[in-house]
Amino acid sequence: MVNVVASVGRNGVHDFILLRASAIILALYTILIAGFFVVTPTVTFEQWHGFFACTSVKVATVLALLALLTHAKIGVWQILSDYIKPAFLRGALQFVFSVILLAYLVFGFLTVWGV
């Protein structure tokens, strides 16, 4: 078996499964939000606030956020590895995007749970 040094412990099958799983989670979350709008004829702030006050919706939102960030991390890595050839520039951009995605995770978590 050949070990690819550039993959840093990842392989294509792992990325493929993560992308498909995150896409399914995002599709289910979209159905959840769309279902709320379908069953609620006029959405007011109180209804919206009550919907997101439910613990299961908060958990689903954080799960969808994690799925989105996983999907973005793999996508950015694939695009940068395909189109940015200088290793230092590619590494620096991957670091910048990783920090941005981590900030999205922290602020998203704080927003959902209101900590």
| Contact by Cβ (8 Å): 47, 41 | no
Domains of the chain in sequence order: 11-113 (1.20.1300.10)
Per-residue pLDDT at 3 exceeds 70: no
Q: What is the pLDDT of residues 29-85, one digit of tens each?
A: 999 999 999 999 899 999 999 999 999 999 999 999 999 999 999 999 999 999 999
Give me the amino acid identity at 70: T
State how far the Cα of 13 lies from the Cα of 17, in Å rounded to an integer. 6
Confidence grade of residue 12 (pLDDT, cut at 50, 70, 90): confident
- Nearest Cα to Cα of residue 72 among 91, 92, 100: 100
The position carrying tokens 């695009």 is 79
